[in-house]
Amino acid sequence: MKNGGIKNVKREILSDNWYILNKYTYDYQKPDGSWETQEREAYDRGNGAAILLYNSKKKTVVLTRQFRMPTYVNGNKDGMMIEVCAGLLDGDNPADCVRKETEEETGYKINNVQKVFQTYMSPGSVTEELFLFVGEYDDSMKVSDGGGAEDETENIEVLELNFDEAITMVSKGEIKDAKTIMLLQYAKLNGLV
Ligand SMILES: Nc1nc2c(ncn2[C@@H]2O[C@H](COP(=O)(O)OP(=O)(O)O[C@H]3O[C@H](CO)[C@@H](O)[C@H](O)[C@@H]3O)[C@@H](O)[C@H]2O)c(=O)[nH]1
Ligand SMILES: [Mg+2]
């Protein structure tokens, strides 16, 4: 089904407390050519980038563990999530962002990163486009403890896991984060580890 057109887009800011929740009102042309007025809320936190750090010799991956409040209020008992390293672009290009986040969150200084996907993770409600990368790390690249930026209350724990164990954690439901599952499966399908 093709969308005929969109016109008269109006934006109302419902909240700009931290990121921005907008309400859009617009006219949408239906397949029969008629127009209807629709309303949709969209949460705008900018775009983001994430990376799976892997080591093909050791057969390991580096992941992070941190508290995610939205999961805590929706069934995730202690609110902790195991995720690939990720961050918001904050004006950087995705590759630079992901290198910076890697050093801040995991303590590895990595140069070679490869983009493998671009994805909208929640297209019905969140504007964010997420750029997904993979990158090989080794022990010599570890320059600090990581843990997150000093000025942010992130408290990120760095995990180095056996790749097969990480894949098992996906099937057991111990890893539930979508971008992390996508990248682990990409690594498996393409024989990276
Ligand atoms: N005070 C306050 N701080 C906030 C709020 N929301 C986020 N923060 C702070 O801002 C930090 C942003 O850290 P980043 O590392 O840049 O982003 P992220 O939260 O890890 O986001 C990544 O993961 C998300 C979830 O999977 C992705 O949606 C996103 O694209 C990105 O990849 C958070 O860790 C937290 O400290 C808020 O409402 N209030
Ligand atoms: Mg982060």
Q: Is residue 88 part of a domain?
A: yes
Region for 191 from its dihedrals, namely left if φ exceeds 0, alpha if ψ lies in -120 to 50, beta otherwise: left
Q: Is 75 exposed, middle or buried (0-12, 13-18, 19+ CB in 10 A)?
A: exposed
Same domain, 60 and 97: yes
Same domain, 82 and 110: yes
| Ligand 1, residues at Cβ distance < 6 Å | 18, 48, 50, 83, 86-88, 101, 128, 130, 152-154, 179
Q: Is residue 68 part of a domain?
A: yes
Same domain, 82 and 108: yes
Label residue 4 by pLDDT band (50, 70, 90): confident
Same domain, 14 and 107: no
Q: Is residue 1 part of a domain?
A: no
pLDDT of residue 77: 95
pLDDT of residue 24: 98
Mean pLDDT of 48-53: 98
Same domain, 54 and 135: yes
Same domain, 115 and 161: yes
Q: Does the ipTM surpass 0.85?
A: yes
d(CA 45, CA 150): 21
Label residue 152 by pLDDT band (50, 70, 90): low
pLDDT at 121 over 90: yes
Q: Is 68 exposed, middle or buried (0-12, 13-18, 19+ CB in 10 A)?
A: middle
Question: What percentage of the chain carries pLDDT values higher than 70?
Answer: 97
The tokens for 112 are 């070679």
Of all atoms in ligand 1, which is nearest to the CA of residue 126?
28
Q: Is residue 117 part of a domain?
A: yes
Instruction: Please tell me the total count of domains within the chain.
Output: 2
Mean pLDDT of 4-22: 96
pLDDT of residue 151: 65
| 75-90 pLDDT per residue, tens | 999 999 999 999 999 9
Helix (H, G, I), strand (E, B) or coil at 141: helix
What pTM value is reported for the model? Answer: 0.95
The domain in which residue 128 lies consists of 48-189
Same domain, 144 and 81: yes
- Which range of 64-68, 139-143, 154-158 scores highest in mean pLDDT? It is 64-68
Same domain, 85 and 135: yes
Q: Is residue 142 part of a domain?
A: yes
Same domain, 18 and 54: no
Same domain, 64 and 35: no
Q: Identify the nearest ligand to the CA of 155 by its number.
A: 1
Q: Identify the nearest ligand to the CA of 154 by its number.
A: 1
CATH number at residue 117: 3.90.79.10
Same domain, 55 and 97: yes
